[in-house]
Homo-oligomer: A and B are copies of this chain.
């Protein structure tokens, strides 16, 4: 790919993420093209359908998150899981329910983002194992449970309310020895 093409792709991806987060998934492709400073045709060259753009945005985001998780694991193995969950929850507000909105529209993320998803799960799994070793997470849960709790926590965060107490409840439940 030519350098300028790659630059355009990256620019569109970034703008798309921000725009979806700000305005919801309903924003027209034209609007994203405008904000990215390219023609609509250029968006379509890189992402042949709107769904493929959704997918690319989410994959990209998951990659970033996986990297964050790895960095946290290196810094503070025992506390990384909760730090990471807390961070993702806080960012859920920014994402404005991207994933749920997609679900609401009938897009099944697990089908649509298999690669990014796998990477992400691996990274999350690492954090869980470290926490279990450190005794801060019960042993009868696996990475899917944590992923599920994460989904729930994000939903709760978006719903609003006393997120500290909620986080504490989940943390207590997750830490309790079974």
**Which residues of chain A have a CB within 8 Å of any CB of chain B?**
23-26, 97, 100-106, 140-141, 144-145, 147-149, 151-156, 158-162, 165-166, 168-174, 176
Copies of this chain, tallied across the complex = 4
CB-CB under 8 A from A160, the residues of chain B are 148
Cα–Cα distance between A178 and B24 once the two chains are bound (Å)? 38
Supposing A145-B162, A149-B166 touch, asked if A100 and B155 sit within 8 A by C-beta, the answer is yes
Supposing A24-B106, A26-B105, A162-B145 touch, asked if A154 and B156 sit within 8 A by C-beta, the answer is no
**Contact in complex: A103, B106 (CB < 8 Å):** no
**Contact in complex: A140, B154 (CB < 8 Å):** no
CB-CB under 8 A from A147, the residues of chain B are 159, 161
